[in-house]
Structure 1
Amino acid sequence: MRAARDDSLSILSGRLPADEGTALHAWAWHRDADGALLPARLAGVELQNCLRPMIAVARFVAFAAKELHDRRDWRGCIAAEAAERGTLVAGPLAVAFAKEVRRTAPFVPMLPGWAREDVEVDGQRVPAGGRVVLDILATDTDERSWHRPGEFAPERFVDVDDYEAIATFIPHGGATVADGHRCPGEKLAIAGLAVAIAALSDARVTILGSGLRVNRRRLPTRPASGGRVRSADGAARCPVHVAWGPRRRGAPS
């Protein structure tokens, strides 16, 4: 936090350059409705909020690697989609796969909070200010709301544009961003996860089968290895760069 705040102060003083169009520049020079620059601490918080979703999504990528390893048919379809579209970004099948990873992964199984008013849930009274827990994983896999809830089935999200309209789909919190507990970085997380899924699906990337066990007693959890990958040709280089790096002519972006 202090580093982000200090960066903002350094930019405003001219000691640290920041190119226009970058998040660093945008938040350092952002003005509120009254035309005033944001306090340095607040600008730092907002800058971190641009990074946090992509850092957290790395755990979802580990779960995605596990699911892709176990589902070669989906992996092949996503790879073909990326090649046909000429880009790793926003492929409908990759996005659907990303949403199903988020529905089934026990990364964030619950969110704690306080009751804003006296409520009764399943016969249990919770007074205002009492502790409550939103069971995210159970809601996302409830048999009363989902068809075949225990199965990993990305096809359920194909052609579903407004996923937020599904009240029981809450991997990033419930309700809305404006007045609920839904994460404002959710769409960034989906976009980043879908790109990672498309990259991992390439046949030139090998997803190692060892270390994919998930310890559900651990919080937060992930596949034990974190989802290790190698170049399919055995080269000691980044496998994703080998498959999608700029040095390969005609490589999709």
Structure 2
Amino acid sequence: MELLNIVRPTTAVAWFAAFSGHALIRWPENRKRLADGDPEFALAFAHEVRRFYPFAPFIGGRAPREVEWDGVRIPENSMVLLDLYGQNHDPALWDDPYAFRPERFLDREIGAYELVPQGRGDPRTNHRCPGEQLTVALVAALATRLARLDVDVPEQDLTISLRRIPARPASGVVLRVRGSVSQG
């Protein structure tokens, strides 16, 4: 279990870093603001990467007791899946959910049941990753660092299959660094 507690967050951060590179290729207008070191925008960018990109399409668990939800009876010990991708792209929750817009996370609190790429609720009592805050901070820092790189993007397949778990760009994300990296 302890080994898994190291492997899972390390993998999540690596995947979200690749998705950050993918987002900077697809939406380069975010590069300057990240590179300028705006910490609020970097956190918003990290949240939008986690919302937009499908690290995992769902998470599962067992119903601890019989419950009824939205008119459906769920027997005790039933396998229950939380549709992370659907929640994070639900037009009832997100304005223009298939657009990549980090600004949606500026100047507002995120509800415990709203953005759920790493589970939902309170990490102390619900199914939410206790390392989520650290993941967000690392992704914000890595995205800022990526935005500061002077890179070429070689020909590659950047499609993302939602059939692969965890999802990832087909070629990974390959960036060829051209010159020195600006410090900031």
TM-score by length of 1: 0.67
Q: Which residue of 2 aligns with 1:63?
A: 19
**Aligned-pair CA distance for 1:150:** 1.8
| Percent identity of equivalent pairs | 37
Residue of structure 1 aligned with 2:181, choices 243, 246, 250: 243
Instruction: Give the 5 Å matches for 1:91-110.
Output: 91-110=39-58
Q: Which residue of 1 aligns with 2:37?
A: 81
Whether contact under 8 Å (1:107, 1:220) holds in the other structure is yes
Whether contact under 8 Å (1:205, 1:243) holds in the other structure is no
Whether contact under 8 Å (1:208, 1:228) holds in the other structure is yes
Whether contact under 8 Å (1:69, 1:209) holds in the other structure is no
Whether contact under 8 Å (1:53, 1:188) holds in the other structure is no
Q: Which residue of 2 aligns with 1:182?
A: 128
**Aligned-pair CA distance for 1:207:** 4.0
Aligned residue type for 1:140:
N
Aligned residue type for 1:243:
V
Whether contact under 8 Å (2:22, 2:173) holds in the other structure is yes
Q: Which residue of 2 aligns with 1:152?
A: 100
**1:62-121 residue CA offsets vs partner (Å, 9 max, x unmatched):** 111111001121112211236xxxxxxxx2111111100100111111011111111223
CA distance in 1, matches of 2:95, 2:174: 32
Whether contact under 8 Å (1:65, 1:207) holds in the other structure is no
**Aligned-pair CA distance for 1:231:** 1.1
Aligned residue type for 1:79:
A
CA distance in 1, matches of 2:8, 2:127: 16
Q: Which residue of 2 aligns with 1:214?
A: 160
CA distance in 2, matches of 1:52, 1:215: 21
Q: Which residue of 2 aligns with 1:169?
A: 115
Aligned residue type for 2:139:
L
CA distance in 2, matches of 1:53, 1:200: 20
Tell me the number of residue pairs that the alignment of Structure 1 and Structure 2 aligns.
Answer: 184
Residue of structure 2 aligned with 1:134, choices 64, 82, 85: 82
**1:131-190 residue CA offsets vs partner (Å, 9 max, x unmatched):** 110111111111111211121110001123x43x35221111011111100100101111
Whether contact under 8 Å (1:208, 1:227) holds in the other structure is no
Aligned residue type for 2:181:
A
Residue of structure 1 aligned with 2:145, choices 199, 202, 205: 199
Instruction: Give the 5 Å matches for 1:23-62.
Output: 45=2, 49=5, 52-62=8-18
TM-score by length of 2: 0.90
Give the CA RMSD over aligned residues: 2.0
CA distance in 1, matches of 2:150, 2:102: 23
Structure 2, unaligned runs of 5 or more: none
Which structure has the larger Rg over C-alpha atoms?
1
CA distance in 1, matches of 2:126, 2:62: 13
Structure 1, unaligned runs of 5 or more: 2-44, 83-90, 234-241, 245-250
